[in-house]
Amino acid sequence: MSDPTLERDTALRGRARAVIPGGMYGHQNATLLPEGFPQYFAEGEGCRVRDVDGNEYIDFMCSYGPILLGHRHPAVEEAVRDQLARGDCFNGPGEAMVELAERLVERVDHADWALFQKNGTDATTLCVTVARAATGRSKVLVAAGAYHGAAPWCTPIPAGVVAEDRANVATFPYNDLTGLREAADAAGDDLAAVLVSPLKHDVFVDEELVDPAFARGLRALCDERGALLLLDEVRAGLRMGRGGSWEALGVAPDLSAWSKALANGYPIAAVLGAEAAREAAAQVFSTGSFWFSALPMVAALATLAQAEREDAHARVVHAGERFRAGLAEQSARHDLSLRQSGPPQMPMLLFDDDPQFEIGRAFTAAAARRGVYLHPYHNLFLCAAHDDASIDAALERTDLAFRDARAARPATRGAPCSR
Amino acid sequence: MSDPTLERDTALRGRARAVIPGGMYGHQNATLLPEGFPQYFAEGEGCRVRDVDGNEYIDFMCSYGPILLGHRHPAVEEAVRDQLARGDCFNGPGEAMVELAERLVERVDHADWALFQKNGTDATTLCVTVARAATGRSKVLVAAGAYHGAAPWCTPIPAGVVAEDRANVATFPYNDLTGLREAADAAGDDLAAVLVSPLKHDVFVDEELVDPAFARGLRALCDERGALLLLDEVRAGLRMGRGGSWEALGVAPDLSAWSKALANGYPIAAVLGAEAAREAAAQVFSTGSFWFSALPMVAALATLAQAEREDAHARVVHAGERFRAGLAEQSARHDLSLRQSGPPQMPMLLFDDDPQFEIGRAFTAAAARRGVYLHPYHNLFLCAAHDDASIDAALERTDLAFRDARAARPATRGAPCSR
């Protein structure tokens, strides 16, 4: 098999270096990925995407989360085309906004109201601001090492961040009630909120499901201290469950932040909140030039309806389990110790004895060359369009990718080595 | 003439009160507008929009700025439909991103590179963060009373804002070099940047064009202090000129923030920057789930190309001047002292002796009932689809609206009164 060409991609990267700082930025910056990963994409359908050179990939990143039903799902696209024929952005929202708020309030147990934005960072920032308005307090606790956004108060990269941006943010260890209590004690009577993701899903490390006792203890602590519990559903929302990700645990947040999968790829975010925070939410000035646009709202309505119709949640879980089982069998056969952590809908694939991700990079690069788009150190995202045939087609290729990675494995492996 | 019905609009507002805090939020909250203004919109074409009850309006808000060429301009819609047939949101951008960065760098004199976001607030916040990364300093000066965004550091509403959010933000009076210098002196050697809009365009007060001597003095001060000059083009960009709004003055910012009109209504924002800030821009973590989406980028390319093709800037200026002249004649004839400030492309209409905007509310409510969408205290936005026939049709209706407002004018007017 000859390697696919990335000629057009390479040319575009060259042009980009002249007019985009660093050539690219943010979480979609492919210069950080191994050679063989494309930067620029041309089209997609179902669970398959095509890069600008015409190479096709079975897509296990799903645009880093937004694609829940598959690329260009007909039910969503039809709603989008209908709205486009009338327009998108006016002096006020369309009636889809009211209907979307109603559907989300019906669907997510803790929610009595909704506000809409564009990005995950908009939603988590608004949660914090509403919590401060509701409590009159300043301090916010977040789980250490957990990624929450790209604004100065929550970015994982320090460039351009000043001390005051983080002055009211303190951390606690995920799933550690004792550590949480110590952080809350340090915040004292100025604790406005605790912001937490439904599972620990950071780059570079194994995912960690929430300990139900931790979730319940967190809820009790917030109640005891008069602080709000904010659930960051941006990455997990609609993949971990039909409604809120902690509903199965019986733990209800006061506010939750949603984005990625809400509209199957169209740009929207939402804050959902409980009655007690409604007045504070009405006082905070939240707005954006395109936050009222109709197109992503009709896309979200279609996504929610279609997800029910086809039981997307069960389909995504099934696809993830099938992929996981196949990868486990293959990696064992190729004598590569693959660790699969997190839920099957959004699994993390890491290798033992691979501190620099060399095996992971070799494996995912080989997979990309063979038409399977994975990631060396970010969790993957399954979608409802990953039917059994697609999973099996992907597994045929990952089998070869494991073989390639086995061949490329650093020579020191097998012998003890100091790390 | 019987008043148009807003029956469906009223029913939607009722439903919204149950599931949206305060019934609506942000700059498109119609509960703050006079009775007669619709909240919910159904469709638009050219300079006309239709609300959910089927009432048609000649639109002088243009979605609060985004609509530059007219609603659903065929050239933009064609590009959007083409892209939709291939998809919008993938694991990386489409090649339109590189082309858009190239076009903006060509078109805007001071720009050597571009970064893309979704909202004006994203862009202004990123400008500040890049300036801090570039200088290693903290303090930012903004013009007092000028609206800059909706994040805690820049929102005009204090709910949920804590002291640290504003600890590094100080103000100066627009167009006042002495005041600017005093504010810069107070910031001392910690001055990272001055953020300023190309003209003063705040709600409730007359617009004010920039004094060229102020703009040049500001540039000199930034150079002298080693601070960056950040130009907030979010509202004015592409309406004040073909490229940057201060190019005619010969004053180049280091960074500029763009959004609203860039893609004729599709959701995008951009930071454009000079070479000296490129390295800092590459270090800052800027990202969002939908910041790489192709659809608004092809819409922006089509908008820029079409704006050139039809000389949109000249058309918008011409439309604004024709509207302004008609309104001036009418208001004088109706003995209402209308003040029209700012550039004709984005004028502010306020009345003398109207501290509570009662005359303004009566006038704009009457205009809305007659099918002309204005605003009682926010600047208007003209677009290239406001041809002479549309302006004249609007003026026929505003003539009647002035008559209505004259009849509704508070009885005290005419006699001296204490305010």
Distance between A261 CA and the closest CA of chain B, angstroms? 10
Of B52, B97, B119, Cβ closest to residue A290: B119
Alpha carbon separation from A417 to A353, A412, A413 (Å, rounded): 9, 7, 8
Residue B95, token pair as written in the block:
């090649």
What does the block give as tokens for A203? 């780059």
CA distance B189 to chain A (A): 15
Q: How many whole angstroms separate alpha carbon B40 and alpha carbon B131?
A: 39
Q: What share of chain B is helix, strand, coil (3-state, %, to 5)?
A: 45, 15, 40
Q: How far off is chain A from B300, nearest CA to CA, in Å?
A: 14
Helix, strand, or coil (residue A196): strand
Q: What is the pLDDT of residues A92-147, one digit of tens each?
A: 999 999 999 999 999 999 999 999 999 999 999 999 999 999 999 999 999 987 77
Least Cα separation, residue B231 to chain A (angstroms): 18
Task: Give the CA-trace dihedral at A314, A317, A322, A328, to 10 degrees.
Answer: -160
Contact of B127 with B195, CB cutoff 8 Å: yes
Choose the mutation target among A289, A372, A379 for the interface with B, i.e. most B CBs under 10 Å: A289
CA distance B302 to B291: 18
**pLDDT on residue B373:** 98
Residue B416 confidence class, pLDDT cut points 50, 70, 90: very low
For residues A419 and B47, give the distance between their C-alpha atoms in angstroms, rounded to a whole number. Answer: 66
Q: Do the Cβ atoms of A88 and B265 come within 8 Å?
A: yes
Q: Which residues of B368-402 are buried (b: 16+ CB within 10 A; e: fewer)?
A: bbbbbbbbbbbbbbbbbbbbeebbeebbebbbbbb
SS3 for B25? coil
Beta strands in A285-343 (DSSP E): 338-341
Q: What is the DSSP letter of A30?
A: G
Which chain A residue shows the shortest CA-CA distance from B276? A21
Interval B240-266: pLDDT, tens: 999 999 999 999 999 999 999 999 999
Name which of B285, B292, B303, B378 to mutate to probe chain A: the one with the most chain A Cβ atoms within 10 A of its Cβ: B285
- Taking only the tens place, the pLDDT of each residue in B86-138 is 999 999 999 999 999 999 999 999 999 999 999 999 999 999 999 999 999 99
Q: Is the dihedral of CA B52, B53, B58, B61 positive or negative?
A: negative
For residues B177, B183, B189 and B192, what is the CA-based torsion angle, rounded to 10 degrees?
-80
Give percent above pLDDT 70 in chain A. 97
Sign of CA dihedral A61, A65, A69, A73: negative
Q: Which H or E run includes A140?
A: strand A139-143
Residue B4's pLDDT band, with cuts at 50, 70 and 90, is: confident
Fold of the CATH domain B74-309: Aspartate Aminotransferase; domain 2 (3.40.640)
Query: Is the ipTM reported for this complex over the cut 0.85?
Result: yes
pLDDT at position B146: 73
Q: Could B44 and A93 be called an inter-chain contact, meaning their C-beta atoms sit closer than 8 Å?
A: no
Out of B160, B164, B292, the one facing A130 most closely (by C-beta) is B160
- pLDDT category, B409, cuts 50, 70, 90? confident
Helix/strand/coil for B152: coil
Radius of gyration of chain A (CA): 22
pLDDT of residue B410: 62
Domains A7-69+311-408 and A74-309 share a fold: no
pLDDT at B362 over 60: yes
Q: What is the C-alpha to C-alpha distance for residues A106 and A242, in angstroms, rounded to an integer?
A: 11
Q: Which fold has domain B7-69+311-408?
A: Aspartate Aminotransferase, domain 1 (3.90.1150)
**d(C-alpha B51, C-alpha A84), whole Å:** 16
Lowest model confidence (mean pLDDT) among A254-258, B40-44, B178-182, B408-412:
B408-412
- What's residue B295's pLDDT? 98
Chain A residue with Cα closest to B168:
A164
- What pLDDT, in 10s, does the model give residues A327-368? 999 999 999 999 999 999 999 999 999 999 999 999 999 999
Instruction: Parse chain B into domains and list their residue ranges.
Output: 7-69+311-408, 74-309
Which DSSP helix (H) or strand (E) runs through A134? helix A120-135
Render pLDDT for B202-215 as a digit per residue (tens, 0 to 9). 999 999 999 999 99
In this structure, how many other beta carbons lie within 10 angstroms of the beta carbon of residue B276? 12
Q: A49 pairs with which residues across the strands? A: A44, A57
Residue B91 CA to residue A36 CA, distance in Å, equals 14
Type of residue found at A136: G
**A112/B150 Cβ within 8 A:** no
Please name the helix (run of DSSP H) or strand (run of DSSP E) that holds residue B349, with its range, or none.
strand B348-351
Using a CB-CB cut-off of 8 Å, the residues of chain A touching B72 are 87
pLDDT band at A411 (very low <50, low <70, confident <90, very high): low
pLDDT > 70? residue B80? yes
Question: How much is the pLDDT for B411?
Answer: 55
What distance in Å separates the CA atoms of residue A227 and residue B209, rounded to the nearest whole number? Answer: 46
**Chain B residues with beta carbon closer than 8 angstroms to that of A26:** 285-288, 291-292
Helix axes A295-309, A74-84, angle to 10 degrees: 150
pLDDT over 90 for what percent of chain B?
Answer: 94
* Residues listed for chain A: 419
- Smallest CA–CA distance, residue B279 to chain A, in Å, is 7
CB atoms closer than 10 angstroms to residue A253: 32
Tell me the helix, strand and coil percentages in chain A, rounded to 5: 45, 15, 40
Nearest chain A CA: its distance from B335 CA (Å): 30
> From CA B236, how far away is CA B381, in angstroms rounded?
10
Angle between helix A177-187 and A212-225 (nearest 10): 20
| Residue A249: both structure tokens together | 């645990």
Residue B391 scores a pLDDT above 70 = yes
**Contact across the interface for B156 and A285, Cβ inside 8 Å:** yes
H/E run at residue A257: strand A255-258
User: Which residues in chain B are closer than 8 Å to A290, comparing Cβ atoms?
Assistant: 66, 118-119, 266-267
pLDDT of A272 over the 60 cut = yes
B61 interaction partners in chain A (CB closer than 8 Å): 91
Select from A77, A129, A167 the Cβ nearest to the Cβ of B152.
A129
Within 8 A of B59 by CB-CB distance, chain A residues are: 91
pLDDT at A369: 97
Q: How many CB pairs under 8 A join A and B?
A: 334
> B326 and B357 in contact (C-beta within 8 Å)?
no
DSSP for B183-235, please give it: HHHHHGGGEEEEEE-SEE--TTS--EEPPHHHHHHHHHHHHHHTPEEEEE-TT
Residues A159-169: what's their mean pLDDT?
A: 96
Question: Which of B17, B19, B104, B107 is the mutation pick for testing A, counting most A CBs within 10 A?
Answer: B19
